[in-house]
Amino acid sequence: MKRQYFGTDGIRDRVGHGVMTPEFVLKLGWAAGRVLCKQGHNLVLIGKDTRISGYMLESLLEAGLSAAGVNSRLLGPMPTPAIAYLTRTLRASAGIVISASHNPYYDNGVKFFSSEGTKLADEVEHAIEQEMKLPLVTVDSAQLGKVERIDDAAGRYLEFCKSTIADHTSLKGLKIVVDCAHGATYHIAPNVFRELGADVITIGSNPNGLNINDNCGATAPQQVSQAVLEHQADVGIAIDGDGDRLIMVDHTGAVLDGDQLLFIIATARQAKHQLSGGVIGTKMTNLGLERAFEQHAIEFKRAAVGDRYVLEMMQQLQWSLGGESSGHIICLDQTTTGDAIVAALQVLESILESAQTLHQAKQGFCKYPQVLINVPMTQPIDIENSATIQQAVIEAESELAEQGRILLRASGTEPLVRVMVEGQHSQQVTLIAEQLASLVADVCQVNH
């Protein structure tokens, strides 16, 4: 079922351009309200990250929902996983997140959660798109939706996060640097770790609407790495702008990505006989993690890239742990979506129970050299059906001799082709990646 507007993570664009215009977002709120009303729903939660455009988009969605006769509750700046949690616990019909996740401030987006706190099914997104084709008609004045603000949303979510680890677990004695990327967790994440007993140093917690993800957070962990060394901290925690990606740093300043964090959580759960099934990764997951899980007799499967596909496979197999190299970690036994704070607590609980440092806990997993190059795409190209590109991939794979992997894919959130190559030898991997990226760029130029 092909969708016109929805990508792998909602609808996203540069504000004022493409689909992220006032006219479109107003109509989107109305169309979503119409679809949800048809299903008997009448209450939607709206939360946002800290981008300056969030004020405008919040008002537009609120107006569109009201025109469709749907009541809404405003949460203010809240992490994406918090909106999923509150949608479920407040028995709302759906949740709307205004965020472009790890993108710069000038982008923004809209994504939806179902009443169960999961991403909307494809057919519901398709139904919303179909409704967008109709003229906007406002319900009778007596049926217009009402709007209220929920003032204790942050406190509710903070207490939930704390409840995801054992009652006896204390972070006392740990010095932690927390980088909130000037994003949606700025007023929550530091308090979670502080209330659990940690000595917390906070950076990236002064949003001004324009500095979200600006050389900080999970996509730029150099700042938290430097702060860990400066403060002689035990651990660094870097979260992205909307709070669903986690990257961590050990006491040496070394960065741990989502694959390494998955390894720590999975092996700790296995040691306690609490690993339900195996672990789901993606086509981007490092080959070294797959090899490490083989040594620990932990079953591992790959989903398509995107946390929604990881979640779908987890639900199909009834497994409780999955995630992406980028730092989306999903603990289905705790919550319904990727959650950076919850995942960080799982890692911290694991190392405390094993009396290890984060540096020691990662040692059982040796990452294969991996190079990822993003190639700007001026217009969509069909990678799968490009004979030139596919022939180059075949030749490169034979050069790796089954000791590595190659993945070329169009990004679902940005106009990019991602070229990923991994193998046992760093120089070889880098050379192949650069050659393929150059070829993809040439093909894009020719097609343009």
Q: Where are the beta strands (DSSP E) in 377-412?
A: 404-410
Would you say 174 and 38 are in contact if contact means Cβ atoms under 8 Å apart? no
CA atoms within 13 A on the CB side of 221: 25
User: For the stretch 157-172, what's the b/e string if a residue is b when 16 or more beta carbons lie within 10 angstroms of its beta carbon?
Assistant: bbebbbebbeeebebe
Would you say 70 and 43 are in contact if contact means Cβ atoms under 8 Å apart? yes
Nearest alpha-carbon partner for 46 in 62, 60, 32: 62
Active site residue 101: yes
Q: Choosing from 66, 72, 101, 350, which is the catalytic residue?
A: 101
The residues with which 48 forms a beta bridge, in sequence order, are 77, 98
The residues with which 256 forms a beta bridge, in sequence order, are 248
DSSP-derived 3-state class of residue 410: strand
CA atoms within 13 A on the CB side of 79: 30
Distances (CA, A) of 266 to 167, 171, 262: 21, 20, 6
CA atoms within 13 A on the CB side of 319: 26
Helix (H) or strand (E) holding 55: helix 54-67
Structure-block tokens of residue 426: 């760093």
Q: Which residues are known catalytic residues? A: 101
